[in-house]
Amino acid sequence: MADKYLGYRYAIILGALLMALGEFMILGGTEEWLLIGMGAIIIGNGYFKANISTIVGKLYADGDPKRDAGFTIFYIGINVGALMATTIVAYVGETYGFKYGFGLAGIGMLLGWFIFSAGRKQYAAAEGLEVHEAGKKKVLGPLNALHVITIISFLLIPVCYLLIANNEILSFMFLILFIIVAYNLISAGAKEGVIWRDRMIALVIFILINIVFWACFEQAGTSLTLFADRNVSREILGWTMPASMTQFFNPFFIITFGSVFSLMWVKLSKIGKNPSIPMKFALGILQLGLGFLVTLIGLSMESDFQVPLLTLVILYMLHTTGELFLSPIGLSMVTKLAPKHMAGTAMGGWFLSFAIANLLGGYIASMTGAEHGGAEHDKDAFTVETTVKDAIAKIGNDTIKFEDWKALKEGDPVNITMSYYMDIEDWVQFRELQQNADLSTWKTSRTANDTLTEPAAWLNADAWASLSERYTAILKVDEEAGENAGLDFKSWKYYRGGLADMDADGQALAAAFKTHQSTVLEAGLNKYVSIFSTIGYVLIGIAILIALLSKPLQKLMHGVV
């Protein structure tokens, strides 16, 4: 759209406004608003991210050795924002509610749009900024192509909502998209001649390498954050760092090392020692693999099934230096390999690799237990996966309306499943009994949940109100207790599995849970480290393979360095 119709400036502004709109939509606080907001962010990011990178590339002449350094500086700028997101926004989210963190991000996006618009003279030399003639042509009455594309962009938000809500089709969709994009890039290059065809083949190979790198790197936002939450000692001088804030290490190291790398590429070019692009990719993946292997060292230093925080610090440092070898260099490489008239399209193909990588990263995270896929269930049957809305429909009683049904706690979703309700009830019963009962008493008290076979038995207004009152009372006690609060619901959900099967009847409930918790922590730590180390060894093998094939890859690039 930007290459042929909108121009890069309008595409970026449209993207920024769509992303800000999406952030503010999430303030609605419901699952529906969350998914709709994500849809707007996705459409906006498609316009924003690829095209702003394209502008950076167009500020440098062909063959300018400063291009890699320029992209590294650009990358530092991005990570100043990432540093704020993982400190200020994470704090606001953890303290006041994550929807307010999204609202703060929306304000930041509007500020970014203002700075981009106000500083247009600074990037005026880039080609393709303005709306193209094809974008100005009338295509639908008084509407030109730019107007129609803008309207369609907003109409695509509900399409994205449906794709997110039904994400089981994404694997198939991404495979088809990758084949189409790879074919279009290579065929478009072939029309320009043998050199451009070979360069597009090289680009497709680098896209595949990029998928491998980011599928593993993006464990930062999933399995590595949960690893930090469960198996990393995060106490610093009496203060416990929130697990979400461990994401701050990556942007911190990028800002710290980014300038060094930017100067390093220029200096190495001057003395003829700058590694080739394939070798930089190999070295980047090598460092990513070594970062995962650091967890083996951490395991040897564990105490109470928690590894030192230094484990994560060194892991993220190696991941970051690997990222600086690969990511800004990759952005720069795309602008070098692609013909000028399809620079935005090639960059779009490059960012498609991030989407595929995040999908694969989710599958990898699920192996560690970081994500739990819900099993398919029969919506016509009454099961633990039946929602409040479905249950009311099954009852078929006009006196009960979903619109009038209340959440268990203000701010919680209303349309919960029976499974979630039972989790809350188990937790409430545990908290009420933990100081004064044994394990067998708790086991007996929770069996009533397992006998619910009818929707009306579950949606009993009196039982619902009673649980709501008890649930809210415990949360209020925890809020007043602060750091001395009891076991929270999130931790309960993670640790409780298998507690009911413990052969420790007669043992005090709190003591039985603590014993069980240690067992879960030990098993979790060993599982995390086993999977992380396996990923590390595989990545090192891939890095060696890329290094061995670096010369044939370099030949395909026909002089691009």
Sequential pLDDT tens for the chain (561 residues) = 898 999 999 999 999 999 999 999 998 877 888 999 999 999 999 999 889 988 988 888 888 878 888 888 888 888 888 888 878 887 787 777 777 888 888 999 999 999 999 998 989 988 899 999 999 999 988 999 999 999 999 999 999 999 888 877 888 888 899 999 999 999 999 999 999 999 999 999 999 999 999 999 999 988 999 899 989 999 888 888 888 889 889 999 998 998 898 889 889 999 999 999 999 999 999 999 999 999 999 999 999 899 999 999 999 999 999 999 998 899 889 988 988 788 878 888 898 999 899 999 988 988 876 544 444 444 457 788 888 988 888 887 777 888 889 899 887 888 898 889 989 998 999 999 888 888 888 888 775 555 667 888 888 889 999 999 999 999 999 988 887 888 899 888 888 888 888 877 678 988 888 889 898 999 999 999 999 999 999 999 999 999 999 999 999 999 998
For the stretch 319-355, pLDDT in tens is 999 999 998 899 889 988 988 788 878 888 898 999 8
Residue 294: predicted pLDDT: 97
φ/ψ of 493, rounded to 5, equals: -60, -35
What's the CA gap between 536 and 322, in Å, rounded? 13
Q: How far is residue 513 CA from its own chain's centroid?
A: 32
Question: Tokens 């929770």 label which residue?
Answer: 446
Give the model confidence (pLDDT) of 469-484 as tens digits. 999 999 999 988 887 8
SS3 state of residue 508? strand
Over residues 398-456, the pLDDT tens digits come to 778 888 898 998 878 888 988 899 899 989 999 998 888 888 888 887 755 556 678 88
Q: What span, in angstroms and rounded, lies between the C-alpha atoms of 54 and 36?
A: 28
Pick the CATH number of 169-371+531-561 from 1.20.1250.20, 3.40.640.10, 1.20.58.340, 3.30.930.10: 1.20.1250.20
Helix (H, G, I), strand (E, B) or coil at 156: helix
Cα→Cα distances 98→91, 93, 95, 413, Å: 9, 4, 8, 14
What percentage of residues in the chain have a pLDDT greater than 90? 49
Ramachandran sector of residue 359 (left: φ over 0; alpha: ψ -120 to 50; beta: rest): alpha
Burial class (CB in 10 A: 0-12, 13-18, 19+), 443: middle
Domain regions of the chain by residue span: 1-165, 169-371+531-561, 388-507
| 414's tokens | 């209303």
Instruction: Judge contact between 11 and 19, C-beta under 8 A.
Output: no
Say if residue 229 is exposed, middle or buried (CB neighbours under 10 Å; 0-12, 13-18, 19+).
middle
Residues 345-391: tens digit of each pLDDT: 888 889 899 989 999 998 898 887 654 444 444 445 778 888 898 88
The structural architecture, per CATH, of the domain 1-165 is Up-down Bundle (1.20)
For residue 514, the surrounding DSSP H or E stretch is: helix 509-548
Quote the CA–CA distance of 433 and 447 in Å, as a whole number.
15
